[in-house]
Amino acid sequence: MPRIAFDIMLLAFYLVTANPATTGMPLHEYLGVGVFVLMVAHVVMSGEGLGGRGRWTQRVLNGVLLVALAFCVVSGIMVSGALLPSLGLYATGYYFWDPVHALSAKVLLAALLVHIVLRIPVVISVFRRHSSNSFAR
């Protein structure tokens, strides 16, 4: 159950971060780094990774999620107007990296929605098991 709570918290954190209109760009950039770290923790905690258990379709989806996340993070850092300059750094190529960031963010969102839909039965079974265990006490 704690892992499900972590996943729900990560989803909420991602949804806030994915909408820079709600946070403003500087906070969007810093939260984006935090979401990246938490998503890595999610992958490690799930124990699946790319080569883990599951059907080949699940592994393909995990690969798409990983590649989209990597492109989103790298391109986000490259177009950074707050995070990178706060470190005394500046990246060139904004007109290349900005469309990459926009596209990878959309692919990440789409793949994440598929991932969530495929995991709904697992979440339901965990909640059912948890509720039946609490009634048995």
**Could you report the per-residue pLDDT of 102-113, keeping only the tens digit for each?**
999 999 999 999
User: How high is the pLDDT of residue 80?
Assistant: 92
**Could you report the per-residue pLDDT of 44-97, keeping only the tens digit for each?**
777 655 555 567 888 888 889 989 999 999 999 999 999 889 988 888 888 999
CA distance 6 to 12: 10
What is the enclosing helix (H) or strand (E) of 26? helix 25-46
Cα-based angle 133, 121, 60 (whole degrees, multiple of 5)? 135
Work out the pLDDT band at 114, boundaries 50, 70, 90: very high
Residue showing tokens 């692919």? 107
The count of other CB atoms within 10 Å of the CB of residue 11 is 13
Q: 70 phi and psi, to 5 degrees?
A: -60, -45
For the chain, what percent of residues have pLDDT higher than 70? 90
